[in-house]
Chain A
Amino acid sequence: MLSEVTNMLSSWLGRKKLLIGLALILMMTGLLGPAWAEEVRSTRYRYGEREVSTGYYEEYEVKPILYLPGGPLMRKGIPLESAPTEPIRWRTYLTDTHLGIRDYKRHHDCTDCHPQQGRDRHTVRAGITCDQCHGREPISGINHYWSPLSPIRRHAYICAKCHEGASVSYAEYAVHEPIPAMLSTRQTFPFLFFAFWMMATVAGGTFVVFLPHTALWGIRELLIMKKDRAESESKQQD
């Protein structure tokens, strides 16, 4: 019995192609993973690949975020910029985000209070008005569970109006992007901040080196031409 097993093993080990094939099967099985591994993949991947603008999800996928002391950002471990802004941030979770703001009705233009929000490409280039995305009064907070701008349905209810086929991933585009050069952007949008400064350094470095280089080159050649001309004139006079 033992000798049979030994013979079988030795014959298997002698077949290199068979061993390579088995190794490949094992590797592929490991790479693909079992079916249940699909469930633990990131939601972004799942939405990006499979779901396009239906707007309908399972209950566990659209469960509203519960309020906990410290605000949702604090709960995620993201430090708030300053304590006084905290109640304003919570407003993004209200049904009427402007509820209780004194003299609110006197303002006719959103950019009176949100000047930076009127300086994005959607507003400036495409002429999109605020209420086309945020809705009419009462304007619900963008994170409110029932708001059309809520991250769970923003792609279907808002983005897809113009961008047919918008996915959850697509809706992560920051329409009101922060100014990339600002230090505060490092906290809110670090990728944009570092990409901007990396590119600005490359561009600035090129100009800092090559602009004086070019100017000096022109001046140097002018001086040489002037000197050569003076020399040739003096030779002619001699």
Chain B
Amino acid sequence: MSPNSKTRIRRFSPVQRLFHLLLILCFMTQATTGLARMYIETVWGQRLAWVFGGYTPSRTIHIYVGIFMLCIFALHVLYMLSKVNWRKFPGSLFGPDSMLPQPRDLKESIQHFGWLLGMAKAPRFERWGYWEKFDYIGVCWGMCLLGATGLLLAYPLVASRIMPGWGLNVAFWVHKIEAILAMGHVFIIHFFIAHLRPHAFPMDRSMFEGSVDLAATHHEKPDWVARLEETGKLESVLVPEAPGWRRAFHYVFGYCAVALGIFLLIGALVNSLSITW
């Protein structure tokens, strides 16, 4: 097979990949600085904080990267709004390329659970699986919740002018539990499904390269490929494999993120009994 043969389907645009790249960088920074402060009573937490210059600089970085993340999220919302077909609104929100949950997703998730237990045939997924939509909506929900509570905690004097001071106690716990949920979901569930499960192993490069392998997609998302074939769009979305040096870079970057995530997860679990909750 020649290196220029088109064996992959374009799945993500460069803008979408840029959003994901920024999300990875910001999320990892937030996870590390957040855990450094949460675990500051332990040696592990102190070493994490040392990387950023100590407890106070970790807090400063956490706040400013958080604000940057909120700006990126606001840009993403504008980007998504620009992608809506307003002439066919609201029907356009529920097409096969939409990330919004639809009745089909519920049906597919039940059937997929049946397949996992060996009791049903594998569902014929479209462009987005229910777990991918859950991940995406989870990020949006997390950004709103973590962003709002984070701003309240970052600027408590201003926050206490619009709500009673005890609201900060509530905001702190909401922020903490949501952060634990986000880290647990990304470091265990997202990393495993996207990179470590046998079908995706050694790595699903689609979010870095922007394309997925055609043969693998035939197997995993058959309805999407069938729709592209029926509408005659398949040829137009086929792209060649990325050059070797880029693939190598994607592997190194992706596995650095996975390794950091697993390091944070294990460190947090091991030291969880040594901190004041």
Contacts and interface: CB of A to CB of B under 8 A. Distances in A.
Q: Are the chains A and B members of one assembly?
A: yes
Interface of A: 44, 48-49, 119-121, 124-125, 163, 165-167, 169-174, 177, 179-180, 189, 191-192, 195-196, 199-200, 202-203, 206-207, 210-211, 213-214, 216-218, 220-222, 225
Contacts of B167: 191
A119 B276 CA distance: 6
A227 to B, nearest CB: 11
B88 interface: no
A177 B169 contact: yes
Main SS of chain B's interface residues? helix
Interface string B88-124: 0000000000000000000000000101111000000
B173 interface: yes
A189 B172 CA distance: 14
Given A124-B276, A173-B169, A210-B189, A218 B198 contact: yes
A195 B174 contact: yes
| Interface size grouping (class) on chain B | 35 or more
Given A166-B157, A170-B157, A173-B168, A214 B174 contact: no
A172 B164 contact: yes
B192 interface: yes
Contact of B160 (A167, A177, A210): A167
Contacts of A121: 276
A169 B164 contact: yes
Contacts of A191: 166-167, 170
B199 interface: yes
A75 B58 CA distance: 46
Interface in B178-215: 178, 180-181, 184-185, 188-189, 192-193, 196-199
Contact of B177 (A171, A174, A199, A225): A199
Interface string B126-166: 00000100000010000000000000000011001111111
Contacts of A210: 131, 185, 189
A44 B164 contact: yes
Contacts of A49: 161
Contacts of A174: 166, 169
B181 A206 contact: yes
B31 interface: no
A172 B166 contact: yes
A21 B196 CA distance: 66
B67 to A, nearest CB: 21
Contacts of A221: 197-199
B180 A171 contact: no
B41 interface: yes
Contacts of B160: 48, 166-167, 169-170, 172-173
Contacts of A206: 138, 181, 185
A220 B118 contact: yes
18 contacts: A125-B37, A163-B156, A163-B157, A167-B160, A169-B165, A170-B156, A179-B277, A202-B181, A203-B181, A203-B184, A210-B189, A211-B188, A214-B188, A214-B197, A216-B116, A216-B117, A218-B197, A220-B115
A222 B198 contact: yes
Nearest to B201: A221
Given A48-B161, A173-B160, 14 more contacts: A125-B37, A167-B160, A169-B163, A173-B166, A189-B169, A191-B170, A196-B177, A211-B188, A213-B131, A217-B197, A218-B196, A220-B115, A220-B116, A220-B118
Q: Which 7 A-B pairs have the closest CB atoms?
A: A172-B165, A173-B165, A170-B160, A199-B177, A203-B181, A221-B198, A216-B116
A44 B165 CA distance: 10
Contacts of B178: 199, 203
Given A167-B161, A169-B164, A173-B160, A192 B170 contact: yes
A102 B242 CA distance: 79
B173 A195 contact: yes
Interface in B203-259: none
A218 B200 CA distance: 10
Nearest to B184: A207
Nearest to A203: B181
Nearest to A219: B116
Contacts of A192: 166, 169-170, 173
